Structure 1
């Protein structure tokens, strides 16, 4: 096994740990890992990310449910508009993007670069959500949106996460806290339901459009599943607040790196 592959599988283990500990952020690591370490193009990487994150989140959901940290009703209510948007965006939108988005002089913004920059922009937004203090979150807890607003936002988040190959956990954890008023630990567990449904249904929209390397995908996902089992087991011993903020800063750095790398490559 080559050195890069070893790093790739170790990265898969870390992806699972992150999912098990904070209920989101798996795709934030998976897509860059597949693109920059293992050399997959962004279209393939975002598709594989959906399967990896979805399958490991399914295992994590079962583990969290056993511990009483899953609100099934709320999870399905939030996931319904999202998985529709994720599936439609993967099946009908992503694969129809033009190869060249924009040309200015000698600069051409290709589909692959555009997807990675958009992914980095969403990472920036997610990092702000994770870094912000608990006091700022408390100030928003008094506001609860009606379901029709949640439905619309679910469609928007589903479309975004479908394009970037994410389950959306890093967006749904704060949504579940602010809108559904779930405690943080229950929001983390409930978000895994949404991530599972979004990711696996979104992945089915790619199956007919790309050739899947099932051996790699299943073996990579196995390491992620091991990681999420470990993450769920140790989550009660680790401060979720400190972990979330630390991962937020890591996400911010990764987003800046991706933007710099992609634009610098094209300059």
Structure 2
């Protein structure tokens, strides 16, 4: 029970701090740490991450850090491209999918680390220079234009495609993309990513329970502690410099890449 609680707290905290990593880290944690089979771990991870993301998104809405219109747009477009990803996944060998994803994660982590290295700790990287999606300093909302809509739609499309192909959440696409294309602070990027994950997960979770999904006591303990970890992560996140969160995200990307590569090699 202690190990279950500890793993749930860690996964939830990572999700709350970075807006990503929960789903793809939860499955290996359940399989390797708690001895679940892949078929048992997947729905538990989905419920845990979906519920935790939902609460994180609600907290972000309360604090007005979520760009909810952007989240709705990305979710809607992602829902359209996810079936294409599923179709592609059925035609590409799994080992190549996982290896490709590992490579993407290393690149994303390296870019985020480079961005964190270049970020001045006092500016929080919020200046709009070179950004396509501009957050107004007066209203705190995006200044919408055709370029803004197309960029956010493209982020949602790529996120949905990878979600369909690899069966993981879209946070690893959304977080670095929003950091690159927008001037939204890291805390707002994380909150927006959580809302997208929550929206995409809700329908899947509902369908799973409608199909007769039942969970064990250990599963519910993991879910509960994941939610608790999420709340703790969101509570602490505003007090952590954006650059530190970016470094953390970059390191998690590398860890995830190693986990996925190990899975591709049959180690996990």
Q: What TM-score comes out, normalization by structure 2 length?
A: 0.74
Preserved CA contact (<8 Å) 1:22 1:240: no
| Residues 21-60 of structure 1: pairs in structure 2 closer than 5 A | 21-42=17-38, 44-60=40-56
Give the CA deviation at 1:209.
Answer: 7.7
Give the CA deviation at 1:61.
Answer: 1.2
User: Is 1:230 matched with 2:232?
Assistant: yes
Preserved CA contact (<8 Å) 2:103 2:257: yes
Match of 1:132 among 98, 102, 114: 114
Query: 1:79 corresponds to which residue?
Result: 75
Distance 2:112 2:39 in 1: 27
Structure 1 regions of 5+ residues with no counterpart? 103-110
Preserved CA contact (<8 Å) 1:58 1:193: yes
Distance 1:262 1:207 in 2: 29
Preserved CA contact (<8 Å) 2:155 2:177: no
Match of 2:244 among 242, 254, 258: 242
Give the CA deviation at 1:14.
Answer: 0.9
Please, what is the CA RMSD of the aligned residues? 3.5
Q: Deviations over 1:80-131 (max 9, x none)?
A: 1113434x369x659x848xx76xxxxxxxx5x6665455344334423432
Distance 1:35 1:215 in 2: 16
Distance 1:250 1:183 in 2: 19
Query: 2:64 corresponds to which residue?
Result: 68
Preserved CA contact (<8 Å) 2:156 2:174: no
Distance 1:130 1:31 in 2: 24
Preserved CA contact (<8 Å) 2:51 2:198: yes
Q: Deviations over 1:154-190 (max 9, x none)?
A: 2232121234333222321232333343222222211
Aligned partner of residue 181 in structure 1, secondary structure: coil
Give the CA deviation at 1:234.
Answer: 1.5
Query: 1:221 corresponds to which residue?
Result: 223
How many residue pairs were aligned?
A: 248
Distance 2:221 2:108 in 1: 28
Give the CA deviation at 1:224.
Answer: 0.7
Q: What TM-score comes out, normalization by structure 1 length?
A: 0.74
